[in-house]
Amino acid sequence: MSHVIGIDVGNFSVRGLLLDRHGKVITSARLPHEIRQPAAGLAEHVAQEDWWPGLVRVIRQLLEQSRIRPETIDALCTSLPEKTLLLLDRHFEPLHPAILGQLDSRAESGLAALRRQWPDSHLQHRSRLPLHASALLPLLHTLLRQHPQLGAQTHHLAIGNSYLLQRLTGHFVTDYHTAALSGTFETASMSWARDMLASAGALEWMPQLHWATDMAGALGREAARQTGLSTGTPVLTGSSARLAETLHNGATQPGNMTIHYGTEVSLIQPGRQYHTDTGLWNLPYLFPDSRCLMGELLQSFRGLRHGQPNEHHAFEDMSYEAGHSPAGADELITLPWFQGSRTPVHDPQAKALLFGLKLSHSRSDIFRSLLEGVSHTMTANIRALQQAEATQMIYADGLGIHNRSWLQATSDIAGLHQSVRENPFGAELGNALLAAIQVGNLKLADVEHINPVREVIVPRPELARMYQRHHRIFQALYLQNRALMQRMDIF
């Protein structure tokens, strides 16, 4: 019998599973690691200690637990957080700890100067994303300014999956979606933004571009020796964890949306055509010539989690405690922009704001208000998207789905149903499904019986009026304080 392996290297762990040709999960494995924070605002992994050894150990554990022969593995697919930045020498060895751009704020101080050089209007005209502190160019400029010796030592720049793919196959590649999210990519021409990369001296450092469904290459001899797999095993290019989640939710067709709930929050919906006027990001998707619309709210909870001994558990504790506050958080409203606003309004100077605080409010109310603030932001994204394309189904995913009050708040505020799939696995399942589909073991339609819907979150009509009022206040708080937020950056 043939099998595939899906691996997801996430912020807090490496997770993997083994799938048979019928889509049954044979076994799974997980190896935890930590986000390293050498100073406030920094978030890093050590690739040669966290990523590669973790991937090797998880694959070996899958083989040992299942007792299957390595030659029955038809393909392997992996994912990494898409906004990683790692400079490599001529031998593809890391020169510094990998920067987790989605959680790192080191580039904020130099962002304003780069935005003057690359204004939003110019980037939009060239079908590029606006610059923000998590984008590749600000992070790269900051890194090279702080460590100028890296410029002469660097021969390759790894983002997304490219470091792992090079270790596995010898081919230095990444997928189009990850490249587009870096902010140094032109969607219209489907190529790197040469002028932006040249401004940082990085034009010759970038990986080749493939679709996520393309084969990156065959497993090399040394990688086979370390993992226990067979030399020549096909390795897919793959993409980000968030795109993999759309696959295991069966949300790969236009009109199907996936909302990711976690320490980073986003929504993705495959699109029928190219849109530039939604306020959302129009990006390449998984399959050749496919597109998706994406809304993003990064670092929603990092400000409350920094310095905790186990940040993953701190987020879970916060989510649990928020469940003790009533719907509406006792009239407390939060703007959750700890690192600026991404979509549908791009404003790097937007600030977090707690409005309506009273002595009677509890910590649970504050946490609930923060979660609802994220739901208000997601509602604004959903409405902006629906002006361009209709949404038939919404699927909820991520660790945050275990907090029922948060999911319920999104449905109540947006007035929409959300479906939750039964299978507890995340991007590792999506990666395994992508591999199984590409080698012909499964079809996209098979997701419905492999991972059926467990429940549907239905909006409560009795709360509609209150949440509509809160949403109007939420929007007004930003519009009426935007000028003050911008003035704060002057001092």
Residue 139 belongs to some domain of the structure: yes
Summarised one tens digit per residue, pLDDT across range 321-367 is 888 999 999 999 999 998 889 899 989 889 999 999 999 999 999 99
322 Cβ contact partners less than 8 Å away, ≥ 6 residues apart:
364, 367, 368, 370, 371, 403, 405, 406
Comparing C-alpha atoms, which of 6, 55, 2, 106 is closest to residue 433? 6
Do 378 and 364 belong to one domain?
Answer: yes
Could you tell me which residues come within 8 angstroms of residue 484 by beta carbon, excluding any fewer than 6 positions away?
Answer: none
Question: Is 439 contained in some domain?
Answer: no
**Band (310; pLDDT cuts 50, 70, 90):** very low
Give yes or no: residues 172 and 257 share one domain. no
53 — phi, psi (to 5°)? -60, -35
Residue 308 lies in a domain: yes
CB 393 within 8 A of CB 257: yes
pLDDT digits (tens, 9 = 90+) for 27-65: 999 999 999 999 988 999 999 999 999 999 999 999 999
Same domain? 34 vs 179 = yes
Are residue 51 and residue 161 in the same domain, yes or no? yes
255 in the same domain as 204: no
Same domain as 300, residue 153 = no
**186-241 tens-digit pLDDT:** 988 999 999 999 999 999 999 999 999 999 999 999 999 999 999 999 999 999 99
Q: Among 239, 268, 294, identify where a domain stops.
A: 239
| Residues 221 and 357 grouped into a single domain | no
Q: Do 275 and 232 sit in the same domain of this protein?
A: no
441 lies in a domain? no
Does 252 lie in the same domain as 135? no
Domain of residue 381, CATH code: 3.30.420.40
Domain boundary, last residue among 213, 239, 265 = 239
- Tell me whether residue 444 is in a domain: no
Residue 118's H or E segment, with its range, is none
Residues near 401 by beta carbon (within 8 Å), at least 6 away in sequence? 261, 407, 420
Residue 168 burial class via C-beta count within 10 angstroms: exposed 0-12, middle 13-18, buried 19 and up: buried
Residue 118: phi, psi to the nearest 5?
Answer: -125, 75
Q: Where among 239, 269, 289 does a domain terminate?
A: 239
Same domain, 212 and 317: no
Please name the residue that has the structure tokens 């994406």: 294
Please indicate, yes or no, if residue 218 is contained in any of the structural domains: yes
7 touches 223 (CB < 8 A): no
Domain containing residue 263: 243-421+460-488
Domain assignment present for 433: no
490 alpha carbon, distance to own chain's centre: 31
pLDDT tens track for 73-95: 999 999 998 899 999 999 999 99
Same domain (yes/no): 234, 262: no
Name the domain count of the chain: 2
Work out the percent of the chain whose per-residue pLDDT is above 90.
77
